[in-house]
Structure 1
Amino acid sequence: MSLTRAVAAVGAAGVVAVSAAGCGVAEPAPPTRADTPHGYVEGAEETAEAQSRLVVADRETGAIRVLDLITGQVTEVGRANGVRGVLGDGRFAYLAEETGTEETGAEETGAGEAGAVRVVDSGAWMVDHTDHVHYYRAAIREVGSVTGGRPTGVHSDPALTAISFDDGTVHLLDRAQLDAGTVVRTGTVSGAAPEGSAVPWREHLLVPAARADRSADAVEVRDRQGQLLSTLDPSCPRSRGSAVTRRGVVFGCADGALLVTEQDGGFHAEKIPYPRPVPESERAVAFAHRPGSTTLAARAGDRGVWSLDVTSRSWTHLETGPVVAVTAVGAGAPLLALTADGALHAYDTATGTRTARTPLLAAPVAESAPVLPVIQVDSARAYVNDVATGTVHEIDYTDNLRQARVFQVGGKASYLVETGR
C-alpha cells in the first residue's frame, strides 16, 4: 500500500441477523439462482452509496477501532499485539504485529505468534463492475492472523489476497474464505523483492522478484497457485512499492516505474523513466492515490514530491520541500501534502503552484517520529490522523481544504486506513 487499496471482493460476509421467530413471522428464504439480483452478496446489505469506514489502531495500547463515516459511530474491535502498521485492500485491514501470544483461532496460519499480521473485516466494501458499482455493508469482526515478518504490501482481487513480507515471501490467501470469515492460506511464493509488493491481477499474480544482481530484478507472471509462467521485460531494478490503477499495475523501480497492462490476452510491460537521473534517496518508494485513479503520488526525499500520470506515462516533480505524507486525488484534481508543521497543502500538478493551505495537527511532527500521520482519500473527502490526540480530520479537498468534520476515536490514532471506497 502504498499502501494502497481499492480492489474489493465478491465473497460472502457475515452479519448479525435479527430473528422474527418470536413474532411468529418466518424469515425470508435466501434468493434462488433464478431470482438472485445482479451483484447479490449473501449475508450483506447492499446500499445506494459508499459505506466508507476508517480502521484506526493505537500503537501504545494495540486497540483497534472502526469509525463509520456515515453514522460517526466508533466500534471497538479488539487489541493487536505490538501493532506497528496497517495496510488495507478496500475491505480488510491488515495490522502488523511485532510480538504477541494470543490465540485467534487460526491455528494453521500461526495466529498470535511473533511477527503476525492480524486481519480485521471492516464490514464495508464496494464491487466495481467498471460501468457501475455496488456498495455493501456487513458486521465488523476480527478474522484471524497470518505469520510473517514485516508486511510490505497487501493487494486483493475477488479470488486471491497476497500479503508480501520483507523477507521476500508472499503469502496467498483464499479470498472467498476470507470474506466468509476464515483465513485459509493457499500457497507461498519466495524470492520476491524484500521491499516489493505482489499484486493479484487479471486471474494471475504479478510478483516483483529479486535477482542476485538487484539491477536485474524483474516482474514475474505467476498463476493463482504461485507457479512461475513468464518473466516480463524490461526489468525493474530494486523494486519498491506498487499500485493498481484503471490503466494497469504500477511497480516502483530504481530507474522509474514499470507499468504492466493486459494486451491480446497476455501481459505487456513498459518503463516510465524518471525525467532525470534520480538518486536512491529521492526515488518514489511508496505510492498513494485515490483507489482506481490513474494519478499517483510519492515522496521525493527532502526535496519534494513526485506525481505520476499513468495515462500520459509521465512524471512531474513538485518542489514542495520535505513532507511527512502525500497522496493524489486524481486527474485534474489537487495533490495533497502534509508538512511537519501540521499543515495540509493542495498543489496544482500542472503548474506546481500551491492552491490552498490549512493548519490541522495540534503540534508539529518530527520526521524521525516512530509513527507519521497519513492522508487517506476517496471520491469526496480526505482524512488525516493526528497521531498524538486521537483525532481524525475530514477535509473537503474540492473547497480549499475546508475542514468538514472532526472525529475523536479515543486513545491515539497511530495508524489509519480507509475501507468501503
Structure 2
Amino acid sequence: MSRTLSRPARYAALGAVLALGLTACATADAEPEASATASAEEHDEDGHDHDEEESESGSTEQASATPRLVMTYDGGIVVVDANSLEVEADIALDGFNRLNSLGDGRHVAVSTTGGFQILDAGTWSQAHGDHYHYYTGEISLTDLMVEAETPGHVVVHDGYSILFDDGTGHVSAFYTSDWTHMVEEGHLDVVREYDAEEAHHGVAVLTEEGELLVTIGNEDGRTGAMLLDEDDEVIASTDQCPGVHGETAFTNAEGEDLLMVGCENGAVVFHGDHVHYFTAGEDYARTGNLYSSEGSNIVVGDLKTDPEGGINLSEIVLLDTANETRTVVDPFDGADAEYTWRDIRRGDDGEILVLGTDGTLRVLDEATGDVVSAIPVVDEWEVPVEWQTAHPAVEVLAGMAYVTEPATGEVHIVDYVEGELWKSVEVGVEMNEIAGVTG
C-alpha cells in the first residue's frame, strides 16, 4: 500500500486492494465437483460465475469495503467498524472463546464448546466484471460448526482454510472461497482430511500443489513436522524440532515458497524435499510464533529463553531465509519493557510492530531490527500469569494498527506509517482476543 496515502485515503484504497487480491466474492451459486488437491483458484474459476451473482437479501450496498474488528470478552463477542470503532453487534457467548479469521474477508472461526463455530461479520465484496461491489448485512454467530474435541490452530494459505483439532489430531481443509456458500447451505464441504497418528496441540498447512505440512507429537509432547504429498506420502520430515509450535507459509523475495515452524531450539524451514534448521545454539531458545510478510526474506519470531518463565518476552529473532541467518534483537532498544505473542505483528510493507508493557508501540526495520518510531498508545500494563487473562493485543488491518486496552475498554487506531495515534474509542467491554476482516 502506498506510503503517501492519508488515513482516509488508505481506507478508500482498500477497495482497490481487494479488487486485486480477493480470491472470491461472498456468494456462490453451486458447489462444484473438485478433487481434494485442486487449488482454490481452480475451484473458483470452475465453480463460480461471479458476474451473475446477486447481492444477498437484506444487504446494503456501500461505496467501499467496510473492514470490521471482532473481539471476545468474558460473556460474549463484539463486532466494531474498523474506521469509526462503533459497535455493530454484541453477541452473548459463555466461556473463554478464541478467534481466527477464515481468510475470505468476512467470516471468523470462533473456537468454542463443540468446535469451530462460524461467525458472519456481515461485510463482503462481490466481483462484477472488471470491478467490485461492496455490501454490509446482518452480523451473526451462525449455526455452522466444524466439530472438534479441542479446537486449535486455524491456518489460511493458498486459498485454503485448514483447521486442527488438538483433541483428536484431525485436520480438515476447506476452500476459503466457500464459507458463505457453506453457511447458506448449512453444511460443510471438506476438500482434504488427515488424522495424525496421535492427538497433540498441532497445526497443519495445505498448499495449492496438494502438499500438507503437519506437526508430529502426542500427549507427552511435540517433536517435529512432516511434509506430505497428495497421497499422504512423506516428502520431508524432521524429528529435531522439540516443542514445535506456530507456523508461517509465504513466498520470499527470492520467489521461494516456504513453510516454517517454530521449535524450542530455533526454527525449521521446509525447502521442497528437504529442511533447513535455524538452530539457536542454546539449550532452550523457544520460538513459538512466526510472522512473515509476502515478498520479504525476513521472518520474525518471538523468543523465550527461560523454560520456567511465563508468557513475558523481551527479545525477538529475525530469521533471514535467503542468507539462512538468525539474529536476536531487543525490540525495545534498551528500555525496560516486555511483550507477549499478542503484541507482535507485521505491517503491510514488512515492518515489525511490537507493543511493550510501557504502553509504547514500536515500529522496527525488518532488515536491521532498528527502531524506526516509538508511539505511545496505552497506559503501562503488566504481563499476566495466565495467557488467557485479557491484556493488550495488536491487529493490523487496512494499513492501520489496532491496539486493545482491556483495562479501559478502549480500542486505539495507530497510524504506524506516520508514527502517531489517530483515534481512541471506548468500546465498553474488557476485550481479550481480536481478529480483523477486510470486507
Name the TM-score, length of structure 2 as normaliser. Answer: 0.69
Matched, 1:355 2:372: yes
- How far has the Cα of 1:405 moved from its partner? 1.6
Aligned partner of 1:105 in structure 2 is: none
Instruction: Name the SS for the 1:232 alignment partner.
Output: strand
Q: Which amino acid aligns with 1:322?
A: E
Q: Which amino acid aligns with 2:87?
A: V
Q: How many residues align?
A: 363
Q: 1:341 to 1:211 in 2, by over 3 A?
A: closer
Cα distance in 2 for partners of 1:314, 1:195 equals 28
Cα distance in 1 for partners of 2:225, 2:260 equals 13
Q: Which amino acid aligns with 1:305?
A: I
- How far has the Cα of 1:185 moved from its partner? 5.9
Q: Which amino acid aligns with 1:61?
A: G
- How far has the Cα of 1:54 moved from its partner? 0.9
RMSD: 3.9
Q: 1:354 to 1:200 in 2, by over 3 A?
A: same
Aligned partner of 2:318 in structure 1 is: 307
- How far has the Cα of 1:382 moved from its partner? 0.8
Show CA shifts across 1:67-95 (max 9, x none).
22245442215222303322223332222
Aligned partner of 1:335 in structure 2 is: 352
Cα distance in 2 for partners of 1:126, 1:269 equals 40
Q: Which amino acid aligns with 1:178?
A: W
User: Which of residues 94, 111, 114 is equivalent to 2:109?
Assistant: 94
Q: 1:70 to 1:356 in 2, by over 3 A?
A: closer
Report if the CA contact (8 A) 1:160-1:172 is conserved: no
Cα distance in 2 for partners of 1:121, 1:82 equals 19
Q: 1:56 to 1:169 in 2, by over 3 A?
A: same
Q: 1:322 to 1:116 in 2, by over 3 A?
A: same
- How far has the Cα of 1:242 moved from its partner? 0.9
Show CA shifts across 1:356-406 (max 9, x none).
223322451333252332211246211111123221111111112x01122
Q: Which amino acid aligns with 2:339?
A: V
Task: After TM superposition, list the pairs within 5 Å mapping 1:187-206 onto structure 2.
Answer: 187=193, 189-191=195-197, 194-206=200-212
Cα distance in 2 for partners of 1:256, 1:374 equals 24
Report if the CA contact (8 A) 1:318-1:349 is conserved: no
Cα distance in 2 for partners of 1:307, 1:94 equals 30
Report if the CA contact (8 A) 1:258-1:271 is conserved: yes
Aligned partner of 1:116 in structure 2 is: 115
Matched, 1:397 2:408: no
**5+ residue gaps, structure 1:** 1-5, 15-32, 98-113, 262-266
Report if the CA contact (8 A) 2:224-2:238 is conserved: no
- How far has the Cα of 1:338 moved from its partner? 1.4
- How far has the Cα of 1:323 moved from its partner? 1.5
Show CA shifts across 1:224-271 (max 9, x none).
xxx51333145562321112323433222344333346xxxxx44432
Cα distance in 2 for partners of 1:192, 1:10 equals 35
Q: Which amino acid aligns with 2:347?
A: V
Aligned partner of 1:43 in structure 2 is: 55
Report if the CA contact (8 A) 2:171-2:204 is conserved: no
Cα distance in 1 for partners of 2:140, 2:288 equals 32
Cα distance in 2 for partners of 1:385, 1:229 equals 44
Aligned partner of 1:240 in structure 2 is: 245
Report if the CA contact (8 A) 1:12-1:42 is conserved: no
User: Which of residues 338, 341, 344 is equivalent to 1:322?
Assistant: 338
% identical aligned pairs: 19
**5+ residue gaps, structure 2:** 1-17, 29-45, 305-312, 332-336
Cα distance in 2 for partners of 1:285, 1:125 equals 33
Q: Which amino acid aligns with 1:271?
A: H
Q: 1:192 to 1:50 in 2, by over 3 A?
A: farther
Show CA shifts across 1:192-214 (max 9, x none).
77333211221525232315797
Aligned partner of 1:270 in structure 2 is: 275
Aligned partner of 1:100 in structure 2 is: none
Q: Which amino acid aligns with 1:79?
A: A
